[in-house]
């Protein structure tokens, strides 16, 4: 490494003085600004995912805007963004050209659909705006208001029928489905992973530990689509033979498969938490005559509780937002029931399955983005709790404050 | 391993109470069963996929195009699509990840709030569900950047404002950024403080120290991070569902603005939306086997490099 030092032969007084070097100054500035990129990305994710779901909120606003519209100023009252003005209307010629460009693409369905309506949501509402400018008809507004009320009120119903004459976006069934899968997965993954972590950090010899840890962590390298595929092809048939239920793909299969995805996360973090318990704790316990297992269960495990709690939270986060396994193994039927052997549809799977079929800018599209922002907020909150609350507790515990 | 524990337990308890011994054995046994169960499941998955996939798995399968409406033939375009995806993704993510890691280890002060915020957002990035990245890719890259670029350069003609490799790769690079940052940071931490101090004492500026002492030491970390990121990117499907993956393409992608086929997406499509799932089962298992070999071997390499870094630290 030494050979890579630049050799500076002539040390003069000037060269020894700390001088201002523009390139270094710039490089350092670039480094620190790049470091902020991750913060920026988080903010951007929130802004853009939420932005696309805004129309369903804007509909609500049009209620208040109604009076304004009937009097004078129209475009602002809709809360529609400047994109509306920026958008050139050259899209009209697009679809035909696009269809010729990519005829081989079987999956181009969503593309061509999007091409037909490539305008942002601002434009969709822009049409009634323009209309109301010319006609001054409050009917156009009240129509919108009705649509908005429908969208909002259907959120708390149980029916998820996004594509129909009267679309209903009942999130309750999806929420119940997601919770069902999450609970099943956590009931399986939680105990298994924590017990395994306990064995690895408290009972296993050093050599065994070095073998076990990488093997279990290898499970994390399994892509979720592979686990989903395995659940779909093998687990579903296997469990149907045992339990003999009707629907081959159901919440239970999804839960088992997601447990496989959550185990390595819970295992790794709990193992870290258990290993971080100060040696003095276990030594004191052993010196008092407690056996190894007593020390593990009554001293080490309670001391590591906050860390294990964090592990479980992050496991929940993983299962809650898992898309591919949910898409492939849960059956994807938005049924509302407590039976674990019924098909369910989770939030993430709904986005994954339906986004490609939505038309850009319509309510269905916005609702899917709204579900996305819910998922994002939820995982963000879980992470924040795991980070701050749990860490604070751990520090307090180990420093005896 | 069972015997050693039980032996010590026996020795310990033989001249004490006998009752606890059985309970202790039982409790330790349960934890052991948990470990064995997890490992067994892992090998069962591996075993079944290898067993079912071996029949179709061949060089010809890897190097040929799918034929007859994807009921026959190979997975060549999916493999190439995945390859292009991870290459473009790495080009985008590795520099940013490395620089962020260098900032965190070299520039950020111990208790600085900014560094804490950066760390927190990196960890948040790591736990955000992958489908959210897909939504973000659609909302930001395609609808915002893509249509924006079309307006600026193509006079509104639709070229970038649709799903393609570039947007899919960039979306994927956001997902794998934390992986790279964590790996590089870990490698940077193993560089002894004395080395940096020696460099500074010899009159090198901070930047020179970073360029000539710290950076060369982080190369192995960058490698581990890149390999892990590639392994992750090759396997994720949710972020590319609507940012660029295509069901079937007759030709390989020619430019960054083309759509592409992808191994994981191929498995998903074949197993859920194929016209004849039963008939294409061997193809599905073989594709899964290829993907699994790819991700697991990459991970193995990363683990080996990482253990070397750790040994150096000792």
Half-sphere exposure of A115 (CA within 13 A, CB side): 21
Q: What is the pLDDT of residue B40?
A: 93
Cβ contact B299–A221 (<8 Å): yes
- Alpha carbon distance B2, B286 (integer Å): 37
pLDDT at position B271 is 86
Contact B127 A39 (CB under 8 A): no
Comparing alpha-carbon positions, the chain A residue that sits nearest to B287 is A226
Q: What is the pLDDT of residue B151?
A: 83
User: What is the 3-class SS of chain B, one letter each residue?
Assistant: CHHHHHHHHHHHHHCCCCHHHHHHHHHHHHHHHHHHHHHHHHHHHHHHHHHHHCCCCCHHHHHCCEECCCCEECCHHHHHHHHHHHHHHHHHHHHHHHHHHHHHHHHCCCCCHHHHHHHHHHHHHHHCCHHHHHHHHHHHHHHHHHHHHHHHHCCCCCCCCCCCHHHHHHHHHHHHHHHHHHHHHHHHHCCCHHHHHHHHHCCCCHHHHHHHHHHHHHHHHHHHHHHHHHHHHHHCCHHHCCCCECCCCCCCCCCCCCCECCHHHHHHHHHHCCCCCCCCHHHHHHHHHHHHHHHHHHHHHHHHHHHHHHHHHC
CATH of B65-313, one of 3.40.50.2300, 3.40.50.12780, 1.10.3720.10, 3.40.50.80: 1.10.3720.10
Determine contact, residues A333/A343, Cβ cutoff 8 Å.
Answer: yes
Share the mean pLDDT of chain A: 72
Q: Which residues of chain A form CATH 1.10.3720.10?
A: 171-399
Q: How far is CA A367 from the centre of its chain?
A: 15
**Are the Cβ atoms of B235 and A111 closer than 8 angstroms?**
no
Digit-coded pLDDT (tens) for A310-350: 899 989 988 988 888 988 888 877 777 777 788 888 888 88
A324/B268 Cβ within 8 A:
yes
What distance in Å separates the CA atoms of residue A307 and residue A304, rounded to the nearest whole number? 5
pLDDT, residue A14, reads 61
- Residue A213, pLDDT > 80, answer yes
Q: How far apart are CA A273 and CA A262, in angstroms?
A: 17
What's the CA gap between B41 and A257, in Å, rounded?
11
Q: Do A107 and B103 touch (CB under 8 A)?
A: no
Is a pLDDT exceeding 50 seen at residue B235? yes
Cite the residue boundaries of each domain of chain B with CATH code 1.10.3720.10: 65-313
Report the interhelical angle of A121-135 vs A55-71 (nearest 10°): 10
What's the pLDDT score for residue A22?
Answer: 77
Residue identified by tokens 């999804």 is: A254
Q: How many CB pairs under 8 A join A and B?
A: 332
* Whether A216 and B38 lie within 8 Å, measured CB to CB: yes
Write out pLDDT tens, residues A104-148.
333 333 333 333 333 333 333 333 333 333 333 333 333 344 455
Helix (H, G, I), strand (E, B) or coil at A331: strand
Q: Which residues in B lie closer than 8 A to residue A24 (C-beta atoms)?
A: 205-208
Nearest alpha-carbon partner for A280 in A398, A200, A401: A398
Check residue A385 and report its DSSP letter: I
Say how many C-beta atoms besides its own lie within 10 A of residue B33's C-beta. Answer: 15
Are the beta carbons of A88 and B156 separated by less than 8 Å? Answer: yes
Confidence band (pLDDT; 50, 70, 90) for B75? confident
> pLDDT, tens digit, for every residue of B86-96?
999 999 999 99
Q: What pLDDT, on the 0 to 100 scale, is given for residue A23?
A: 79
Residue B206 has pLDDT above 90, yes or no: no
Return the bridge partners of B245, or none: B260
CA dist., res. A217 & res. A231, Å (int): 20
Mean pLDDT of chain B: 83
Identify the weakest region by mean pLDDT among A130-144, A229-243, B12-26, B221-235: A130-144
The per-residue pLDDT for range A247-264, each reduced to its tens digit, is 788 888 889 999 999 999
A114 chain-B contacts, CB cut-off 8 A: 162
Q: Give the model's pLDDT for residue B11.
A: 53
Distance of CA B226 to the CA centre of its chain: 9
The model's confidence at residue A388, banded by pLDDT at 50, 70 and 90, is confident
pLDDT surpasses 60 at A91: no
Q: For the residues A16-36, what does the mean pLDDT come to?
A: 77
- Considering A95-99, B117-121, B308-312, the range whose residues carry the highest mean pLDDT is B117-121
- How far apart CA A59 and CA A152 sit, in angstroms, is 9
Residue A101 has pLDDT above 60, yes or no: no
pLDDT at B287 over 80: yes
**Minimal-distance CA residue of chain A relative to B17:** A291
B132 Cα to chain A: minimum distance (Å) = 6
- DSSP letter for A6, please: P
Residues from chain B that touch A318, judged by Cβ atoms under 8 A, are: 127, 129
CA distance B57 to B49: 11
Nearest to A39 among B108, B121, B217 (CB): B121
Q: Which of A16, A107, A212 sits opposite B35 (nearest CB)?
A: A212
Residue of B nearest to A216 (CA): B39
What was the pLDDT predicted at B88? 92
SS3 A168: strand
Say whether pLDDT at B36 is over 60: yes
Residue A348 contacts residue A281 (beta carbons within 8 Å):
no
Tokens in use for A149?
């009320």
Chain B residue with Cα closest to A380 = B124
Interval A207-232 mean pLDDT:
89
B217: nearest CA partner in chain A: A1
Higher pLDDT, A51 or B237: B237
Residue A62 has pLDDT above 50, yes or no: no
Q: Using the beta-carbon criterion (under 8 Å), do A1 and B216 form an inter-chain contact?
A: yes
The answer to whether residue B239 scores a pLDDT higher than 70 is yes
Interchain proximity A321–B130, CB inside 8 Å: yes
Please give the CATH superfamily to which domain A171-399 belongs.
MetI-like (1.10.3720.10)
Q: Which residue of A has its CA nearest to B268?
A: A225
């Amino acid at each position: 490494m030494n050979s890579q030092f630049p050799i500076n032969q002539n040390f003069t007084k000037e060269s020894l003085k700390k001088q201002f070097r523009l390139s270094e100054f710039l490089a350092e500035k670039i480094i620190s600004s790049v470091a902020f990129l991750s913060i920026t990305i988080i903010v951007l994710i929130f802004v853009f995912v939420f932005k696309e779901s805004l129309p369903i909120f804007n509909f609500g606003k049009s209620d208040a805007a109604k009076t304004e519209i009937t009097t004078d100023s129209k475009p602002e009252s809709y809360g529609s963004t400047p994109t509306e003005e920026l958008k050139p209307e050259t899209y009209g010629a697009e679809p035909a050209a696009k269809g010729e460009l990519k005829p081989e693409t079987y999956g181009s369905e969503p593309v061509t659909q999007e091409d037909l309506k490539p305008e942002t949501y601002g434009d969709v509402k822009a049409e009634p705006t323009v209309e109301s400018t010319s006609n001054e008809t409050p009917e156009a507004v009240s129509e919108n208001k009705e649509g908005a009320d429908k969208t909002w009120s259907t959120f708390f119903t149980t029916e998820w029928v996004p594509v129909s004459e009267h679309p209903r976006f009942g999130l309750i069934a999806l929420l119940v489905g997601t919770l069902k899968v999450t609970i099943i997965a956590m009931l399986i993954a939680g105990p298994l992973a924590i017990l395994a972590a306990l064995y690895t950090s408290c009972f296993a010899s050093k050599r065994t530990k070095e073998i076990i840890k990488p093997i279990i962590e290898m499970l994390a390298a399994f892509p979720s689509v592979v686990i989903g595929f395995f659940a779909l092809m093998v687990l579903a048939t296997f469990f149907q033979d045992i339990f003999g239920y009707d629907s081959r793909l159901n919440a239970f299969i999804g839960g088992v498969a997601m447990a496989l995805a959550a185990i390595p996360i819970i295992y790794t973090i709990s193992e870290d938490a258990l290993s971080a318990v100060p040696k003095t704790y276990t030594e004191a316990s052993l010196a008092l005559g407690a056996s190894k297992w007593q020390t593990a269960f009554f001293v080490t495990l309670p001391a590591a509780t906050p860390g294990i709690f964090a592990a479980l939270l992050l496991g929940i986060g993983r299962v809650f937002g898992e898309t591919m396994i949910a898409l492939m193994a849960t059956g994807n039927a938005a049924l509302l029931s407590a039976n674990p052997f019924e098909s369910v549809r989770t939030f993430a799977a709904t986005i994954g399955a339906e986004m490609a079929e939505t038309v850009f800018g319509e309510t269905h599209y916005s609702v899917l983005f709204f579900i996305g922002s819910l998922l994002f907020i939820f995982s963000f909150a879980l992470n924040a709790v795991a980070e701050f609350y749990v860490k604070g507790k751990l520090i307090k515990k180990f420093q005896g404050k | 391993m069972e015997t050693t524990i039980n032996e010590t337990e026996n020795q310990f308890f033989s001249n004490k109470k006998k009752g606890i011994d059985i309970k202790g054995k039982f409790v330790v046994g349960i934890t052991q069963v948990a470990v064995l169960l997890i490992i067994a499941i892992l090998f069962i998955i591996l075993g079944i996929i290898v067993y079912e996939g071996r029949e179709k798995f061949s060089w010809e399968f890897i190097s040929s195009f799918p034929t007859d409406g994807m009921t026959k033939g190979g997975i060549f375009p999916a493999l190439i699509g995945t390859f292009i995806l991870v290459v473009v993704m790495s080009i985008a993510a590795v520099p940013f990840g490395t620089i962020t890691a260098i900032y965190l280890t070299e520039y950020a002060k111990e208790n600085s709030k900014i560094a804490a915020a950066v760390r927190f957002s990196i960890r948040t990035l790591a736990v955000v569900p992958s489908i959210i990245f897909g939504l973000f890719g659609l909302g930001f890259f395609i609808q915002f950047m893509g249509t924006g670029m079309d307006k600026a350069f193509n006079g509104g003609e639709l070229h970038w404002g649709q799903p393609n490799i570039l947007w899919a790769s960039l979306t994927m690079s956001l997902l794998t950024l934390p992986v790279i940052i964590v790996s590089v940071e870990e490698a940077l931490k193993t560089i002894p403080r004395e080395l940096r101090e020696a460099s500074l004492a010899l009159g090198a500026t901070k930047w020179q120290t970073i360029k000539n002492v710290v950076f060369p030491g982080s190369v192995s970390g960058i490698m581990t991070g890149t390999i892990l990121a590639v392994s992750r990117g090759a396997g994720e499907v949710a972020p590319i569902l609507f940012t660029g993956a295509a069901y079937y393409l007759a030709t390989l992608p020619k430019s960054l603005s083309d759509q592409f086929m992808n191994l994981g997406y191929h498995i998903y499509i074949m197993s859920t939306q194929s016209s004849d799932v039963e008939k294409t089962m061997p193809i599905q298992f073989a594709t899964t086997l290829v993907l699994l070999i790819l991700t697991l071997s990459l991970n193995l390499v990363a683990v080996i490099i990482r253990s070397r870094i750790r040994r150096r630290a000792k």
